[in-house]
Structure 1
């Protein structure tokens, strides 16, 4: 299986990358983005790209695409947020659908995403529009809606507030597990990577997986 990963240098993308490199049935991992992950591995190849146009030949033989590229809505204006969140994803999806419509496309969204595209929250509407694009374009298109994502594989988030949040919540995880809400609220980057691989191998009855479904997905 050949996997393409967008946003592999980020926190969630690193989970996709690490788990794909460890998977026995993944023969090649192509990372696409503005900066390489910094890893070297016999399976790994990086393509530096800024706007994701002209990717047709590179994506013509992939079996799965894992999309972790994104930006916080609080860091950019509305037009830039839509360009990165919806525009970049749309460009890549068009290339893949034209050459590999049977490929699995796993898009990382987030809890609270608005699939009706009518709500008051701008980020939730744009994420919902992007989810809908992937699900309607690919028979094997999926959206992951994690809650709070903890780092795995010794990766740290580039966002200071997120690092503080992870530091604060980690000691509380055993208590949350005893009380019951952890599967509905918390996952980690390794689990996201393993879930994406499960979707590529076996599919899933639903095209949108909330945090509880992500934590319940069987892993090898």
Structure 2
């Protein structure tokens, strides 16, 4: 299985990358970004590309892909609405169109987040934009899926570049037992390993449910 990863330099993208590289049935992993990652592995190949609104120039590099794991994203806090929509929606759909032309049966796993608004009618702009992106992916691919994680716990040395995430991660050992006690952990918290395993499970077996909330992600990779 050939897997393409977008957003591999981020917390969730790195989880996708590591789990894919460790998977015995994954023969090749291609990352796409404006700069190559530092990671090196016999299965891994980096594709440097500058125009995230047009991926036609690298269609040959994407040929043969069986799955795409999309973890590229930004926070809407303090960001110009037009810029946020371009990164969140337009970049994703540009890649999806290129990949769909190459392989309509490809599994496309898009990471949005808890609170995403699939009705596209709510008051929160970021939730509407992510909901519109989810809907477009699911409409484009029969094997299109959206993952909506809550707080993502970094494992295996993965480290978030977001200060708030790093602060929460440092406090997590004290908080996690309480979350488990009140049975909120499956609702609020997942890990980079569980996200990677859930994406791979979708690529291997699919799912009748195209939008997976945090609880569904945890259920897809229990005990990790």
Shift, 1:74, TM fit? 0.8
SS in 2 for 1:55: helix
Counterpart for residue 83 of structure 1:
86
Question: Secondary structure in 2 aligned to 1:69?
Answer: coil
2:134 is aligned, of 116, 127, 131, to 131
2-structure distance, mates of 1:34, 1:145 = 26
TM-score (normalizing by structure 2) = 0.95
Please, which runs of 5 or more residues in structure 2 have no aligned partner? none
- In structure 1, stretches of 5+ residues that fail to align are none
Is residue 210 of structure 1 aligned with residue 213 of structure 2?
A: yes
Query: Does 1:19 find its partner at 2:22?
Result: no
SS of residue paired to 2:62: coil
Moved over 4 A (4+): none
3-state SS, counterpart of residue 45 of structure 1: strand
Q: Tell me, in whole angstroms, the C-alpha distance in 2 between the residues paired with 1:104 and 1:168.
A: 35
Q: Aligned pairs, how many?
A: 220
Question: What is the root-mean-square deviation of aligned Cα atoms in Å?
Answer: 1.3
Does the CA-based 8 Å contact 1:101-1:138 persist in structure 2? yes
CA drift at 1:48: 1.1
Deviations 1:20-45 (A, max 9, x none): 00000000000001232311000000
1:3 corresponds in structure 2 to 3
- Out of 198, 202, 209, the residue aligned to residue 201 of structure 2 is 198
TM-score normalised per structure 1:
0.97
Q: Does the Cα contact within 8 Å between 1:55 and 1:92 map onto a contact in 2?
A: no
